Structure 1
Amino acid sequence: DEAYRVIGHVRPSDLAVLESLLELVTIIAREDVADEDRTAAATALSNGPASRNGSVTDAHLLALAWTLDADLWSHDRDFAGTGWPSWSTANLLSAV
């Protein structure tokens, strides 16, 4: 719903593109990510050497990556030092 709201407001001409992209995306419910994983992810982020700012706002993303055994695509340096693969756009483009 949020994607439709934002794209509809910012670039309504791209709503058809959004439709196509959403056909490729699987939405994972919060309940499908274990509470233990979210807690462990928060701990990993708060202890991560990249920023050491204690921010755990992205713990749900790290826990989801663990759940799906998937790498992260983000420019957020907080994932560095968690022991989980994360890619910036530049690094991802260099690798493919």
Structure 2
Amino acid sequence: MDKEKEKETAEFYERLKTELDRSNTWPAEYLFKFIVPSINDNVLKVEDAFNCMGAVIKTTKSKTGKFTSISVDVTMKDAQEIIDKYQELATIKGIVSL
């Protein structure tokens, strides 16, 4: 990743953290939404990332079956935990965080 992209990513997460802290009292319920290609074990990777956290996970395949949307409703302890989770899942090839 080039320096400019790294800077943009860091600024994005800093703004997200500020916004989350301003709009929530921690711990708080948070709804993660992702779209992943329906190949390999992408859905399983997302589900495993929330294992043992008491998350409610819903998955829906696209009409063509090429993509799967994943909604994860879970209690998070603070904004940094949310950001850490987004960064952890960003390693999945083709994932889109909404």
Please, what TM-score do these two structures have when normalized by structure 1? 0.28
Structure-2-length-normalised TM-score: 0.28
**Structure whose residues are more often strand by fraction:** 2
Q: Please identify the structure whose Cα radius of gyration is greater.
A: 1
